[in-house]
Amino acid sequence: MTPILNYVVSKWQALSTSDHASVVSINLFVALLCACIVIGHLLEETRWMNESITALLIGMFAGIVILLVSRGKSSHLLLFSEDTFFIYLLPPIIFNAGFQVKKKQFFVNFMTIMLFGAIGTLVSCFIISLGAFQFFKKMDVGSLDIADILAIGAIFAATDSVCTLQILSQDETPLLYSLVFGEGVVNDATSVVLFNAIQSIDLSNIDARVAIHFLGSFFYLFSTSTLLGVFVGLLSAYIIRKLYFGRHSTDREVALMILMAYLSYMLAELLDLSGILTVFFCGIVMSHYTWHNVTESSRVTTKHAFATLSFISESFIFVYVGMDALDIEKWSFVSDSPGTSVAVSAMLLGLVMVGRAAFVFPLSFLSNLAKKSADEKITFREQVIIWWAGLMRGAVSIALAYHQFTRAGHTQLRGNAMMITSTVTVVLFSTMVFGLLTKPLIKCLIPHPKLTTSMLSDPATPKSFSVPLLGSAQDSELDLDNLHVSRPTSIRAFLATPTHTVHRYWRKFDDAFMRPMFGGRGFVPFVPGSPTERGGH
């Protein structure tokens, strides 16, 4: 491999034209992604590894090889760019998560998820900022103003939903998955509000009015982002249902679904909303309505194509981060004072752990108070896993750190360089060490995960194997029907919790108004020569 790389790198350095350099980097990245898939497949049996760590290690290995071949000049072929990350890589991952999420689990735990995602992130951000402020005064870190300190809080308070997807399994631990992943989605909105607030609010006098203003803008942002996602999702369902796209072409249906999902994300970004929230809810609506209006082959195609796009984006992010982690420029400032750098990283990691503990356990307690039946409460062991699984910081943190600390020539400041390297250190350490230990930890704390899923009806998991073409996105609805059909008069179901009552009203509304309008399972009439199965384009 080395002679080839040698040739590639020398060729890359010899040619100054940007387009040839990009051809070389694309080749290298695509080859590395192929390697990730093959090696990830071979390591599938190993319980300790997961795909993100494999990709991270492959990226770092490639970075080392490039570093050696280029004689210490550079370790990466592409600069890590926030644009690439937020515009191209993140949307497919979050959309697919919404598309494949078990909707029932998500909405049953909606209040807990909101608590964790909104209040939890604020608590965590506050603790990390306060801690960083206290510690940085004592350390020789460089010039960081109050806005930088608050930004550090926002950067490290955000749970990385991409990492969560890799660590927790929706099939094995559905409750934990929906709580931790849902929190990751909701706290994106919190982060956007926090970042805007840091830039606009006068930080010298914080009073009740500011707090109310802050809460107001959070709810405004949350509701508008959600509504935009729901609106675009419903629009796609309506268009595909009314126009019978399947009559002419399966490919057009798939193209329209992909494009409208992406449009929802980009519209949210254009209107300064939370793109992650929007595209997540767009995915949920599309899997609930649109997906049922398309032909059978479109269903199979969208299910796997979205998952594949998400998989490629995830691998790309981790290879990218691994390669970028070794960037020699970033470390040159830190090499003067390695002790301080290690201390800052360790301190931040500690603050992340404390900040997360400070909200997971109290808020779980609050959430348990609201639940009446014992098997719905979050046990202490589950709380430990929720705390642990949300400790990972990933590409989102790195992208935010680049955004805050590399603007407008600020890169050369010592404090900024230190923050970038500390972020990279925290991300690498948390992803690798916490990531590696999560699977064994879950095994150790919850030997039989099925018993803890706290679901009303039968667990949906086995169905994803018996109904392969429908898959997990639809299992939740099969469950909803079981619930709906088998115990319509059961008093226990009525009295269980308020969430379930809301759920029943939603079901009624869905059946009476939404499904006849937008389609959905069982509501797509068979029109001869219409959405039935036909050949290609």
Q: Give the binding site for a copy of itself (CB under 8 A).
A: 8, 19, 22-24, 26-27, 30-31, 33-34, 37-38, 40-42, 44, 82-83, 87, 100, 239, 243, 245, 248-252, 254-256, 258-260, 262-263, 266-267, 269-270, 297-298, 300-301, 303-305, 307-308, 311-312, 315, 464-465, 468-469, 471-472, 533-537
**Nearest distance in Å: CB 232, a copy of itself:** 10
Q: Which is nearer to a copy of itself, 227 or 259 (CB)?
A: 259
Q: How far apart are the C-alpha atoms of 358 and 151, rounded to whole Å? A: 19
Nearest by Cα to 290 from 248, 252, 235: 235
Alpha-carbon dihedral angle through residues 180, 181, 182, 185, given to the nearest 10 degrees = 120
Q: Which is nearer to a copy of itself, 170 or 421 (CB)?
A: 170
Helices 250-270 and 296-324: angle between axes, nearest 10 degrees: 40
Q: Which is nearer to a copy of itself, 284 or 496 (CB)?
A: 284
b vs e for 30-53, b when ≥16 Cβ sit within 10 Å of the residue's Cβ? eebbebbbebbeeeeeeeebbbbb
Q: Which is nearer to a copy of itself, 37 or 130 (CB)?
A: 37
- Residue 400, token pair as written in the block: 């935010």
Q: Which is nearer to a copy of itself, 228 or 391 (CB)?
A: 228
**Nearest distance in Å: CB 84, a copy of itself:** 10
**Nearest distance in Å: CB 270, a copy of itself:** 5
Q: Which is nearer to a copy of itself, 140 or 533 (CB)?
A: 533
Q: Which is nearer to a copy of itself, 30 or 451 (CB)?
A: 30
By residue count, the chain amounts to 537
**DSSP secondary structure letters along 360-376:** HHHHHHHHHHH--SGGG
**Nearest distance in Å: CB 440, a copy of itself:** 21
**Nearest distance in Å: CB 333, a copy of itself:** 26
- Residue 130, token pair as written in the block: 């306060």
Q: Which is nearer to a copy of itself, 24 or 201 (CB)?
A: 24
Q: Which is nearer to a copy of itself, 136 or 262 (CB)?
A: 262
Q: Which is nearer to a copy of itself, 24 or 130 (CB)?
A: 24
**Nearest distance in Å: CB 352, a copy of itself:** 28
Distances (CA, A) of 533 to 97, 259, 293: 27, 22, 12
Distances (CA, A) of 394 to 85, 184, 372: 12, 12, 36
**Nearest distance in Å: CB 317, a copy of itself:** 14
* HEC assignment per residue over 413-460: CHHHHHHHHHHHHHHHHHHHHHHHHHHHHHHHHCCCHHHHCCCCCCCC
**Nearest distance in Å: CB 24, a copy of itself:** 6
SS3 203: coil
Alpha-carbon dihedral angle through residues 162, 167, 173, 178, given to the nearest 10 degrees = -20
**Nearest distance in Å: CB 43, a copy of itself:** 11
What residue type is 13 in one-letter code?
Answer: Q
State residue 326 phi and psi, 5-degree precision. -90, 5
* HEC assignment per residue over 80-106: CCHHHHHHHHHHHHHHHHHHHCCHHHH
**459 Cα distance to chain centroid:** 24
**Nearest distance in Å: CB 257, a copy of itself:** 9
